[in-house]
């Protein structure tokens, strides 16, 4: 391990890219990220995850271009299949994830942020997928996740022009959920994580899964899965605790059971 990923477990976990100043995505970083995400997937006591990049210059400025030439003709085997697998690990974490975007989130860095459930950006952040400027395409999920978040027309505009946008525009088109002053992306993301962590963890995880499934299911099939999830939740101890706390006018003490 070369220390390219820092993972701090807890009720709110912190996952940090440690490859400053740009936190570039390299094969070594992706392999360490894979191992960290495997730990998170099994962490039943983690209620939310904040994803950050070391420093204030970049959340992640994308792939290390120096690796491109060595991947010619075998990019899938050498790079993209691994990245797709690991990015899917992040997207599939059972607990909510919040990207704290301080500085640039470009190319593969924005693709990484798109795998998170929510995105908080500082006012100084820049976001975009400039891959076509280098005669390549967003190949780690960008062409698929971006249209699902901001719609196909906006996604085409950003991807086909390679344009980089400011945080305020990103918020306006729904690419980020919140813009905060410079230097405040991580604290703001932690505030959101604390708010989520105070809710019923079983319900939060079920709701996240249902929302993700809603993009792929027919409406009636989605209703059926929602009903099954509700049956599971109404059998939980947390549901009873929530009702008791409501009538007692106190904060609930959810245990994830």
Q: Confirm whether 111 is a catalytic residue.
A: yes
Preceding omega of 21 cis (within 30 degrees of 0): yes
Position 241 scores a pLDDT of 86
The pLDDT of 227-239, averaged and rounded, is 93
Predicted TM-score of the model (pTM): 0.92
Strand partners, 63: 25
Residue 65 pLDDT > 90, yes or no? no
The predicted-structure confidence for 78-122, as pLDDT tens digits, reads as follows: 677 889 999 999 999 999 999 999 999 999 999 999 999 999 999
Looking at the domain 201-248, which fold is it? Lyase 2-enoyl-coa Hydratase; Chain  A, domain 2 (1.10.12)
pLDDT grade for 20, boundaries at 50, 70 and 90: very high
Q: Confirm whether 131 is a catalytic residue.
A: yes
CATH number, domain 5-197: 3.90.226.10
**Residue 78 carries which DSSP code?**
I
Catalytic residue of the set 102, 131, 171, 190: 131
On whether the CB atoms of residues 62 and 105 are closer than 8 A, the answer is no
Catalytic residue of the set 111, 171, 190, 206: 111
Q: Which of 140, 53, 148, 39 is nearest to 94 (CA)?
A: 39
By the 10 Å C-beta count (0-12 exposed, 13-18 middle, 19+ buried), 103 is classed as: buried
Domain boundaries, the chain: 5-197, 201-248
């Amino acid at each position: 391990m070369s220390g390219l990923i820092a993972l701090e477990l807890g009720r709110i976990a912190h996952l940090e890219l440690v490859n400053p100043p740009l936190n570039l995505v390299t094969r070594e970083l992706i392999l360490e990220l894979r191992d960290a995400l495997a730990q998170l997937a099994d962490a039943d006591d983690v209620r939310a995850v904040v994803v950050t990049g070391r420093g204030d210059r970049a959340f992640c400025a994308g792939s290390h271009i120096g690796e491109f030439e060595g991947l010619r003709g075998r990019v899938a085997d050498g790079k993209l299949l691994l990245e797709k697998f690991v990015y899917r690990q992040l997207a599939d974490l059972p607990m909510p994830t919040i990207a704290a975007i301080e500085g640039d989130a470009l190319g593969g860095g924005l693709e990484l942020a798109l795998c998170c459930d929510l995105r908080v950006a500082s006012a100084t952040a820049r976001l975009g997928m400039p891959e076509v400027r280098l005669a390549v395409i967003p190949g780690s999920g960008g062409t698929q996740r971006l249209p699902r978040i901001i719609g196909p027309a906006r996604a085409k505009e950003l991807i086909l022009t390679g344009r980089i946008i400011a945080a305020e525009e990103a918020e306006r088109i729904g690419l980020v959920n919140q813009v905060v002053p410079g230097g405040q992306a991580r604290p703001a993301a932690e505030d959101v994580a604390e708010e989520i962590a105070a809710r019923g963890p079983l319900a939060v995880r079920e709701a996240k899964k249902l929302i993700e499934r809603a993009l792929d299911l027919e409406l009636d099939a989605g209703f059926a899965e929602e009903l099954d999830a509700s049956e599971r939740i109404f059998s939980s101890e947390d549901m009873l605790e929530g009702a008791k706390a409501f009538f007692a006018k106190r904060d609930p003490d959810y245990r994830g059971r």
